[in-house]
Each structure stands twice: as structure tokens, then as C-alpha cells.
Amino acid sequence: MTTFQVDSTAVLDATRSAQATLEQLRGDAAHLTATLTALQGSWSGQAASAFQQVLAGWTATQRTIETQMGQLQQVLTSAAQQYQESELRNYQMFAAGL
């Protein structure tokens, strides 16, 4: 039989921290993207074309990171809720038996 111990409060705290970090990251990334997008209008030529490709790559990477962080946050939230609900059900089951 498997034994485990979980601090569901710690999991919830980590979830909240991950959410706050994700929101900060989204804001910072949006600001950076806006700044870099505006920069595109300041020059033309081969370097400008190469920069546009780099910016497109950055944008794709940023979206991937945001998606993965969002998925992690969702999984952490679900796990924390399930642990809390399980503990409550077990408590209620034993309390009813007394």
C-alpha cells in the first residue's frame, strides 16, 4: 500500500503563487512585445526582416510558455482541491462513526 502526506495548503499557496507569476509574466511579455513591435517600424532592410523573424519566434515561444504555465497552474489547483476534499470526506466519515 502506498503512503503519502500532502500539505494541501502548501499546494494551494504554490498555485496562487504560480497564478500571480503567470499574470506578471503575461503583463511583462505584452509590454516587451509591444515595445519590440513598435521597433519594427524604425528601420527596413535585411536586418529588419531578420528581426521580424526573431520577434515571431519570441512570440511563439512566449505563448508556449504561457500555455504550459497555465496548464501547470490548473493541475496544481485541481490537486489541491482534491486533497482538501478527500481529507474533509475522511474526517466526516470518521466523525459520523463516533
- Whether 51 maps to a domain, the answer reads yes
Q: Is residue 30 part of a domain?
A: yes
> Which residues constitute the domain of residue 78?
10-96
Is 5 among the domain residues?
no
- Domain containing 29 — which CATH number? 1.10.287
pTM score:
0.73
Task: Name the domain count of the chain.
Answer: 1
Residues 3-11, mean pLDDT to the nearest whole number = 85
Q: Residue 85 falls within a domain, yes or no?
A: yes
Burial of 15 (0-12, 13-18, 19+ CB in 10 A): buried
Q: Of 10, 24, 26, nearest to 79 (Cα)?
A: 10
pLDDT in the model for residue 98: 67
Task: Indicate whether 90 belongs to any domain.
Answer: yes
Q: Helices 46-96 and 8-40 meet at what angle, rounded to 10?
A: 160
pLDDT per residue as tens digits for the range 11-58: 889 888 988 998 999 999 999 999 999 988 888 899 999 999 999 999
Amino acid 40 reads Q
Are 24 and 65 within 8 A, CB to CB?
Answer: no
